[in-house]
Amino acid sequence: MKQHLYVNQPELVRELNRCMTLNLGKPTYITNKLAPLLGNGILRANGFSWAHQRKLVAAEFFMDKVKGMVGLMIESAQPLLTKWEQIIEGQGSGANPIAEVKVDEYLRELSADVISRVCFGHSYSKGKEVFSKLRSMQKAMSKEGGFLFAPSGFRKKKQNEINSLESEIESLIWDLVKERKRECSEDSSPSSEKDLMQLLLESSMSDENVGKEFSKSFIVDNCKNIYFAGHETTAVAASWCLMLLALHPEWQDRIRVEVSEHCPNGIPDADSLPLFKTVTMVIQEVLRLYPPAAFVSREAYEDIKIGDLNIPKGVCVWTLIPTIHRDPKVWGPDANEFKPERFSEGVSKACKIPHAYVPFGAGNRLCLGKNFAMVQLKIVLILIISKFSFTLSPGYMHSPAYRMIVEPGHGVHILIQKI
């Protein structure tokens, strides 16, 4: 019913990276199924609609903007650190008490709080219901097994559940938007620092060619996209980081040495973050072994050429990221091993073909939140490792699961103690 071209030769992936035409976009049969979760926001849009949205949203995630978010990210992490300290203290007053913690939900709450504050001007408490219902929808859609590849839609009962969640999510987000509108109209002093929601509001209101309904859906859909993509993938990546660091405590020690060197108080800032080379290497290696995004998929809207291949209109091109990230021909015989030192001289020297490293996607649709995610992951690891040491719990069951992103199927359980 659909013709697919599976591309995992590094040379072809490189050509796919270089292909900047708008005639290559997200496959329509997949984006149609993702419509309840993402609406017509940037993650689903194609062509000129996508280009317009990208131009608007990208500005919020430029590195100079992300540097200004560091303080908020650190502030958002404090409840997690405090809670883990309380859990450890609850184990008794003996020397070095150890507690078992399932980290996933804590990291989701932290990541959700960060994205709420920096992009929408409110804390996680206000967006909590939105995140909870997005997560419920993600699970509902993922339970359909190969829903991305199946020719038909969801079963009727499942479709009704998804439709109900979609309506509730849109209503919750629109309430937050209306609240922001009121705040803006009551605040007579214009702020030079505008968050994403303000930019979306201004953009939709300044375009005289669109009606109110389109304007509303444009704002709500992009909020859904940023809520989902901005917090879910970063939280899952942080979970994989803690799992692998729990298995390899010697890398925790290396990071602590770096922390004592660059921020003795254990709290980084925008200027010290680039100095954390070991932390960067660890994150890069985790994203190689467990990239949250499982694949890059594109559909040719017109006949196009990639390298020496002529791709007819309608053909879908796929690259499976975990496969190419573990290819011994690209990474060497230790491709399945956790070895952050392979990134000691950057991505360009880590493997034979740097274009084969695509944790944030490929080509002109490279993930907008790359800088945001890397900075947040650095802060999370630095703050946790400077306060705690941890090993993997015997109760941990390794089972990567695909639920639109690749996450630990049974969560990450670690044994944690204060330093």
Report pLDDT for 229: 79
> Residue 397: is its pLDDT beyond 80?
yes
Report pLDDT for 106: 96
Highest mean pLDDT, choosing among 70-74, 89-93, 247-251: 247-251
What Rg value do the Cα atoms of the chain yield, rounded? 22
> Residue 250: is its pLDDT beyond 60?
yes
Domain span including residue 92: 4-418
Report pLDDT for 191: 56
Give the lowest-confidence range in 86-90, 144-148, 407-411. Answer: 144-148
pLDDT in tens, 118-162: 777 776 677 778 888 888 888 888 766 555 655 556 677 778 888
**Count of domains observed in the chain:** 1
> Residue 93: is its pLDDT beyond 80?
no
CATH of the domain at 279: 1.10.630.10
Query: How far is residue 26 CA from its own chain's centroid?
Result: 18
209-232 average pLDDT score: 75
- N residues, the chain: 419
The set of residues, in sequence order, having a beta carbon less than 8 Å from that of 234 and lying 6+ positions away, is 111, 114, 369, 372, 373, 376, 377
List the one residue out of 181, 225, 199, 223 whose CA is nearest residue 44.
225
Within 102-155, residue ranges assigned H as helices are 104-120, 124-142
> Residue 227: is its pLDDT beyond 90?
no
Report pLDDT for 176: 82
pTM to 2 decimals? 0.88
What does the alpha-carbon distance between residue 392 and residue 101 come to, in Å, rounded to a whole number? 10
To the nearest whole number, what is the mean pLDDT of the chain?
Answer: 86
Q: Is 316 annotated as a binding residue?
A: no
Report pLDDT for 187: 67
pLDDT in tens, 228-245: 777 889 999 999 999 999
Give the lowest-confidence range in 297-301, 332-336, 411-415. Answer: 297-301
The CA-based diameter of the chain, rounded to the nearest angstrom, is 69
Report pLDDT for 42: 86
pLDDT in tens, 168-212: 888 888 888 888 777 777 765 555 556 777 777 777 666 554 556
